[in-house]
Chain A
Amino acid sequence: MKEPAMNEQSKDERPSGAIRVNGHDYQLSFDERTTVLDALREHLGLSGTKKGCDHGQCGACTVHIDGEAVLSCLTLAVATHGQDIVTIESLAASDGTLHLVQQAFIDHDAFQCGYCTPGQIMSAVALLAQNDQLSDLEIRDGMSGNLCRCAAYPNIVAAIKAASVASKAGL
């Protein structure tokens, strides 16, 4: 009989260590195979980060680790010791004011079902942090790791473009 694959998690999980999310330190018990995505959603109740393909093909699970956009579904939680994980939950200000990229997605109707949106926004924020003078072409290429099954792509590009203008204007 074949051994169960990785997703069939063992129930008797052992303490694995620390994880730092949105500025908070947590001490969690999880199997060493647990991904950051599962740690966020199943252990910390942070369900803003979405599980799409779970194989690094769709980008729905995009978070920032030490400022870089990465795929939480292909990152083992145990391997993030000492690193800062930032999720969609921390983008808005504490008074509820949305991040300018979040606001731009609303203003430009950059989604339909919304499932890919947290990943899209996390990728867009990282992209703009690197370069806020992007052409449409560079936006499309920079965002190609985030699939949208509703095909809201034209509005996503428009939202990111608008956010980059707002960002340059210091709004």
Chain B
Amino acid sequence: MNPITYECPADKATAIASASNDRDASYLAGGTTLVDLMKEGVLRPLRLVDVSRLAMTEITRFASGAVRIGANVKNAQAARDPDLLSTYPGICEAILSGASQQIRNMATMAGNILQRTRCPYLRDAAQACNKRDPGSGCAAINGYNRTHAIFGQTDDGASDPRSCIATYPSDMAVALAAHEAVVVTQSAYGEKRYPISDLLRLPGDAPHIDSNLLHGELIVAIELPPFHGASHYLKVRDRASYAFALVSCAVAVEMKGDRIDKARIALGSVAHKPWRVPLAEAMLEGRNAEADLFRQAAAVALESARPYAMNEFKIPLARELIARGLLQATGLAPMEGVAGTAFAASVGGVAVNNG
């Protein structure tokens, strides 16, 4: 067994230098993805650079209204932050509908964004997976593909070295996408700012690469632009709590009088990253909020979906979530629970059973 080293640098520059200079290095923060995948033998870092003690733990509101969240803020802390709850409730709903209390206590904001797919074939070393073993193929295409992508996947057949139909698992990042969050990084080349939709990537012809970060590039903060509207997250899953989404939807709507000024919609668990639907968004702008319009936009959003044998159900589910998310965010329909909580985000399950 290869020896492994652990270090806990006192500052960002040291951490970045250490990780950048060693291809076998990995950052360690909350550990909820990394330690699990090390046990599975999917990830085999030889140098752990612990960034969890770096001082990136503040949530700051600027005079402009924008909010900056340090990369090391724990998910549980972010979800109860008054500034986030009042202005970006959909983000709190998304965080609280994800994982369990223990995992939210451990996971950091940056680590949440960088969590890896829950495609079962990534974790099963006996199966073909281009993400784990590039060139081996994609066992999901003709396999158990109930949880897999309907948008943006690469499918040139199960044995093709480029194929990957995995979905991205984060709830929080779907809400960050609807709020057009910017991810701030530092690397040996300086600071960089990525709109979250540009940080994450589709499988393209390199499905083993999850994000556009350079090796050793460190996420230091997430910035949320000023927002004057309503945001909301809805999630459908197999059990009422502590399950990944089958489909989820985040909406962020800003009104000007009676008309929709700006609408942003992101779907979760349908693609290799949060899936924005710009055609549907454009249909809403300048229009009055009403149910028929929302259903038309939802239909357009799903037009280009390409489902598999086991996941055709995602199409009507996603349509319904878009329409319902918009209805609830604009106040045309009531939420099932208090805004900013997991109960507002849960479709069915705990919220309904307990009134």
Contacts and interface: CB of A to CB of B under 8 A. Distances in A.
B1 A70 contact: no
Contact of B41 (A2, A9, A79, A143): A2
Interface string A7-23: 11110001010000000
Contact of A71 (B4, B40, B50, B102): B102
Given A33-B38, A79-B28, A137-B343, A3 B2 contact: yes
Interface stretch (A42-50, A51-59, A96-104, A158-166): A51-59
Contacts of B99: 145
B291 interface: no
B101 interface: yes
B224 to A, nearest CB: 25
B313 interface: no
B28 A144 contact: no
B33 to A, nearest CB: 9
A87 interface: no
Interface residues of A, number: 44
A141 B39 contact: no
Nearest to A71: B102
A145 B100 contact: yes
Nearest to A10: B1
A33 to B, nearest CB: 6
A5 B105 contact: no
B31 interface: yes
A141 B6 contact: no
Which of A5, A9, A136: most chain B Cβ within 10 A?
A: A5
Contacts of B304: none
B4 A142 contact: no
A40 to B, nearest CB: 15
Contacts of B106: 70-71, 74-75
Interface residue tally of chain B, by bracket? 35 or more
Contact of A32 (B6, B31, B36): B6
Specify the main secondary structure of chain A where it touches its partner: loop
A123 B102 contact: yes
B289 interface: no
Contacts of A73: 35
Interface string B10-51: 000000000000000000100110011011110010001010
Contacts of B343: 137, 141
Nearest to B42: A5
Given A74-B32, A79-B8, A144-B242, A68 B105 contact: yes
A145 B103 contact: yes
Contacts of B50: 79
Interface in B312-355: 342-343, 350-351, 354
Nearest to A35: B35
B6 A74 contact: no
A8 B5 CA distance: 17
Contacts of A170: none
A117 interface: no
A77 B291 CA distance: 53
A38 B198 CA distance: 39
A164 B103 CA distance: 23
Nearest to A81: B8
16 contacts: A3-B2, A5-B39, A5-B40, A10-B3, A31-B4, A32-B6, A56-B36, A69-B102, A69-B105, A76-B6, A76-B28, A79-B6, A137-B350, A141-B241, A145-B100, A145-B242
Interface of A: 2-10, 14, 16, 31-33, 35, 54-56, 59, 62, 68-71, 73-76, 78-79, 81, 123, 126-127, 135-137, 140-146
Given A141-B342, A145-B100, 15 more contacts: A2-B41, A4-B1, A32-B4, A56-B103, A59-B100, A59-B102, A75-B106, A76-B48, A79-B8, A79-B52, A127-B101, A140-B354, A141-B343, A142-B101, A144-B101
